[in-house]
Amino acid sequence: MSSSARTRSAAGTAWPAVMGANDVTIGFGAATVMSDITVEFPAGTVTALVGPSGSGKTTFLRSLNRMNDKVRNFWLRGQISLDGVDINGPAVDPLVLRRRVGMVFQRPNPFPMSIQDNIVAGVKAHKMAKRSELRDIAETQLAEVGLWSAVADRLDDSPFRLSGGQQQLLCLARALAVKPEVLLLDEPTSSLDPRSTEAVEELVRRLTPDLTVIIVTHNLEQARRLSDSTIFFYEGRLVETGPTVDLFERPQRPETARYLGGAVNPGADR
Ligand SMILES: Nc1ncnc2c1ncn2[C@@H]1O[C@H](COP(=O)(O)OP(=O)(O)O)[C@@H](O)[C@H]1O
Ligand SMILES: [Mg+2]
C-alpha cells in the first residue's frame, strides 16, 4: 500500500482496519449464547448491530476486543480477526489489541481523575506521547468531540460534574486519543438526551472512513441514519445482514421484517 493511502486524517484519527468473525460460537459454561457467526466489518464503514434484548449483541461486541476474557466460564470457538490476524492467537497482547480496538459503553464511565487525565490515560499507559505533549493532546481530542469550549477552563476538575452527554463525549475522546483502528460502541446514546445523542451521532459520522465503527443500538432510526451495513441478531443467531438500506427496505427474512417493523418479539407470528 502506498504511504499516502495510509496517511492519517487532518483530525489525527487512525486509519481503519477490517474486522471479521469466522464461524464464531460463544458461550458461558454449558450455555451457548451465539452460534456460527460469520461476518465482515469492512474498513472505514459503520455497521449497526440490532436485535431484541438478550440476542447476544453485547457478548459478541465484547468478544471483538477480548473484553470477555476474564468473564467466568466464557468460551469462544472460531476466529475473530483484525486485518487478517486471529485476535485470540498467541502473538496477540490483549492490551495492544484494546488500543487498536477501542470501546465505549452504554453508561459513561469516566475514571475518578481529572478531565485531562481521563483523556490522556491511555496515551500515558501506552507511552504514546511525552509529558509535555499531554495538554495539547487533551485539547485536540476534546475539540474533536466538540467538548473543548465547555471544559477548557476546568481540565483539572472532576468529570463527574459534567452532564451525562458530556461524560459520554469525554469517554469517546478518551477512546479516540489512543488512535484506535476500530471503535466498538454498545448502545452509546441510550442514556442520553436528544441533543447529546445528536452530538455523538455527528461524531460517529465524522469518524468514518478514518475508522471502522461497530455500533449496537436499539434505536432503529439511529441505525438507519448512521450505518452502512446492518446485522440483525436474534436469539444468538445472525439472521440477516446487508447494506442498511436493503435490510430496512427489502428484508429477506420474516423475523427481520417483523423486528424492523417494530415487533418486540420478532419470532412470533402475528
Ligand atoms: N457473563 C455471563 N454469564 C452467563 N450468561 C451470560 C453472561 N453474559 C451474557 N449472558 C447471556 O448471554 C445472552 C446474550 O446476552 P447479551 O449479549 O447481553 O445480549 P444483548 O446485548 O443482545 O441484550 C443472554 O441470555 C445473557 O443472559
Ligand atoms: Mg446489550
pLDDT at 8 over 90: no
Residue 28 CB less than 6 A away from ligand 1 = yes
pLDDT at 1 over 50: no
Distance between CA atoms of residues 183 and 213, nearest Å: 5
pLDDT at 4 over 90: no
How many Å separate Cα 16 from the centre of its chain? 13
Q: How confident is the model at residue 2 (pLDDT cuts 50, 70, 90)?
A: very low
Residue 56 CB less than 6 A away from ligand 1 = yes
Q: Angle at the Cα of 148 (from 125 to 186), degrees rounded to 5? A: 60
Residue 248 CB less than 6 A away from ligand 1 = no
Let me know if residue 85 belongs to a domain.
Answer: yes
pLDDT, position 17: 85
pLDDT, position 5: 38
Let me know if residue 72 belongs to a domain.
Answer: yes
| Set of cell numbers at residue 244 | 442498511
Residue listed under C-alpha cell 455527528: 202
Instruction: For 138-154, write each residue's pLDDT tens digit.
Output: 999 999 999 999 999 99
Residue listed under C-alpha cell 478518551: 174
pLDDT, position 155: 97
Let me know if residue 269 belongs to a domain.
Answer: no
> Looking at residue 82, which CATH number applies to its domain?
3.40.50.300
pTM for this prediction = 0.94
Across the range 131-140, mean pLDDT stands at 96
Instruction: For 232-267, write each residue's pLDDT tens digit.
Output: 999 999 999 999 999 999 999 999 999 999 988 888
pLDDT, position 14: 62
Nearest to 234 by CA among 48, 53, 41: 53
Let me know if residue 132 belongs to a domain.
Answer: no
| Set of cell numbers at residue 84 | 487478517
| Ligand 1 centroid, distance to 35 Cα (angstroms) | 13
Least confidently predicted of 34-43, 167-176, 191-200: 191-200
| Set of cell numbers at residue 144 | 474533536
Q: How confident is the model at residue 13 (pLDDT cuts 50, 70, 90)?
A: low
Return the ligand number nearest the Cα of 237. 1
Let me know if residue 20 belongs to a domain.
Answer: yes
Residue 68 CB less than 6 A away from ligand 1 = no
pLDDT at 11 over 50: no
pLDDT, position 240: 97
* Separation in Å, CA 28 to CA 21, 60, 68, 77: 18, 12, 10, 12
Q: Hey, which of 26, 32, 33, 55 would you mutate to test ligand 1's pocket, going by the most ligand atoms within 8 Å of its Cβ? A: 33
Residue 125 CB less than 6 A away from ligand 1 = no
pLDDT at 133 over 60: yes
- 10 Å Cβ neighbour count for 201? 17
Instruction: For 75-131, write each residue's pLDDT tens digit.
Output: 999 999 999 999 999 999 999 999 999 999 999 999 999 999 999 999 999 999 999
Distance between CA atoms of residues 141 and 148, nearest Å: 8
Instruction: For 171-199, write each residue's pLDDT tens digit.
Output: 999 999 999 999 999 999 999 999 999 99
First-to-final CA distance of the chain? 52
pLDDT at 45 over 50: yes
DSSP bridge partners of 79: 22
Let me know if residue 161 belongs to a domain.
Answer: no
Return the ligand number nearest the Cα of 31. 1
pLDDT, position 194: 93
Distance between CA atoms of residues 42 and 45, nearest Å: 6
Let me know if residue 124 belongs to a domain.
Answer: no
Let me know if residue 92 belongs to a domain.
Answer: yes
Residues of the domain holding 97: 14-109+180-260
What is the pLDDT of the chain when averaged over all its residues? 93
Across the range 6-18, mean pLDDT stands at 59
Domain count, the chain: 1
